[in-house]
Amino acid sequence: MKNDLLLRALQRQAVERTPVWMMRQAGRYLPEYRATRESVNGFMGLCQNPELACEVTLQPLRRYALDAAILFSDILTVPDAMGLGLYFSAGEGPKFERTVRSAAEIDALPLPDPHKDLGYVMQAVSTIRRELNGQVPLIGFAGSPWTLATYMVEGGSSKTFGTIKALLYTDPAALERLLNKLADAVAAYLNAQIEAGAQALMIFDTWGGVLAHQAYLDFSLAAGQRILEQLQRERDGHKIPVVWFTKNGAGWLEQQADAGFDALGLDWTVNLAEARRRVGHRVALQGNLDPSVLLGSEQMIRQQVQRVLGEFGPGDGHVFNLGHGITPEVSPHNAGVMIDAVHEFSPAFHR
């Protein structure tokens, strides 16, 4: 592989500079992405077309010297394949035609076959991997069981998560069955992505941070560990690193570091030096520039990149990223300023 910085950094091996990629790097901030999306019927039409999913995955790599490609897809493909009817409403985000709110509905959920029910994702992975031709690693991903469950129970996005929290506190055994079923489905899905060519994996626990302390450990992190226990961690003699990212998850860094993941994603609310002290040498860290910094001046962006690099400090085991996905209003130029700054300033931390 021409550039394996990401894979080395995720395993805390020596690198010449800090690798950098962006969550949602294939997205609405890029005019070429918007043009491609307009050529198909809706967001899922783009996800379900392997050639176009490959095209938008590669678009940011044509613009920027990024150190990874990440599969273009959506975390909700798994519950959609369970027959819940995923659709997107303009300005309202994802919704499901059918919800899952009772023990009977949970028990009736089928486990999707990743090769049949989600074959379009595997075709996209293999197409992207072929087109990358060893340029940079390809990251596959999935949503965490808890995060997927919030959408399935609530029927879409939520501000209070009242319906799923009511299920948690009225019938925790039913919720645990749902999370276990989702963990098994996600593990099969991620293993199929590895077979198709994914070289690293990321699990997005977007809504884990809304849970109470013990509930997070019992319902979110435990389900994540159930996935890990089933994952293929090596292929063709190469390790498949796994990144776990809980938004607003800084309160559980020690437990996350003990869970068995290779790296933890961090949002912008945690100090990297403090996070590094808390996790020690157990895991690599990924993050954690506030995406809103990219709305600032070039000087501000460069200063903030230096701050993040300086917080992590000298040594290996850091992947530079945003603390969450890049937002649509960011200019492509400013994203490039950030990437160039990481290239310029990070080698000093790896001598």
- The pLDDT tens digits for 146-197 are 999 999 999 999 999 999 999 999 999 999 999 999 999 999 999 999 999 9
Q: Three-state SS for 244?
A: strand
The 3-class SS string of 207-218 reads: CHHHCCHHHHHH
Range of the domain at 262: 5-73+102-142+185-201+225-350
Which entry of 8, 12, 17, 24 is annotated as an active-site residue? 24
Average pLDDT rounded to a whole number, residues 282-297: 98
Q: Using pLDDT thresholds of 50, 70 and 90, give the confidence band for residue 93.
A: confident
CATH number reported for the structural domain that contains residue 273 in this entry = 3.20.20.210
Exactly one of 29, 33, 64, 151 is catalytic; which is it? 151
Confirm whether 28 is a catalytic residue. yes
Evaluate if pTM is beyond 0.95.
yes
24 is catalytic: yes
CA distance 241 to 261: 8
- Residue 166 belongs to some domain of the structure: no
| 275 found inside a domain | yes
- Number of domains forming the structure of the chain: 1
8 is catalytic: no
Q: How confident is the model at residue 351 (pLDDT cuts 50, 70, 90)?
A: confident
Is 37 an active-site residue? yes
**Does residue 91 register a pLDDT over 90?**
no
Q: Is the pLDDT of residue 89 over 90?
A: no
Of 28, 63, 177, 226, catalytic: 28
The binding site consists of 24-28, 74, 151, 206, 324
